[in-house]
Amino acid sequence: MSRIGKKAVEIPSGVTAAIDGGQLSVKGPKGTLAMPLSDNIKYEVGEGTISVQPANATREARAFWGMQRTLVQNLITGVTEGFTKVLEITGVGYRANSQGKMLKLQLGYSHDVDFAVPEGIEIKTPDNTTIEISGIDKQQVGQVAAEIRRWRKPEPYKGKGIKYRGEYIFRKEGKKK
């Protein structure tokens, strides 16, 4: 029995949810998001809540239950508050600069890395070593952050590279004479 799945998702004021054509669409102040519905789960939009229940007693339906409820919650949170990931750059000469729909990264390569910002994502650089990625789709925000981080992952000896804010980098001791 899913403890998360049992809770109904609250719909705040100013947000509307509708099920049509096998999709759950949620509209709020920040925009509109849609999610395809699973056949193993039964969704009900009521007065101010969305409830998620398994459609049958199969093991697969019970396994999907909590995850589908969390995906519905992410839709509601996305259209009301949005999601943000913060990346920090560490290293001498490593810096980032946001220029419109392009993010220019200097990461110690012989050339600058130009990252095209996808539609629906906003990237800010408050200073040279901080990148703030925000948007309404949690999966897309995380994917963009992972793609930027992939250019220079933090290394364990000096900690140089791009890391998530709050991420712990396991440090290794260097060679001894």
pLDDT of residue 175: 87
Rounded Cα–Cα distance for residues 30 and 78 (Å):
8
44 Cβ neighbours under 8 A, 6+ residues apart: 50, 51, 53
Q: Would 3-80 and 83-164 be classified into the same CATH topology?
A: yes
pLDDT one-digit tens code per residue, 106-138: 999 999 999 999 999 999 999 999 999 999 999
CATH superfamily of 83-164: Ribosomal protein L6 (3.90.930.12)
Question: Mean pLDDT of successive 10-residue segments in the chain (177 residues)?
Answer: 84 92 92 92 91 91 92 95 96 93 94 94 95 96 96 94 94 88
Contact between 131 and 86 under an 8 Å Cβ cutoff? The reply is: yes
End-to-end CA distance of the chain: 58
Rounded Cα–Cα distance for residues 35 and 128 (Å):
36
* Strand partners for 19: 24
Does the model's pTM come out above 0.75? yes
The domain locations on the chain are 3-80, 83-164
Rounded Cα–Cα distance for residues 9 and 38 (Å):
17
- The CA–CA distances, whole Å, from 76 to 27, 111, 131 equal 8, 41, 25
The fold for domain 3-80 equals Outer Surface Protein A; domain 3 (3.90.930)
pLDDT of residue 1: 65
Rounded Cα–Cα distance for residues 131 and 148 (Å):
10
Rounded Cα–Cα distance for residues 149 and 155 (Å):
12
CA nearest neighbour of 34 among 50, 18, 12, 15: 18
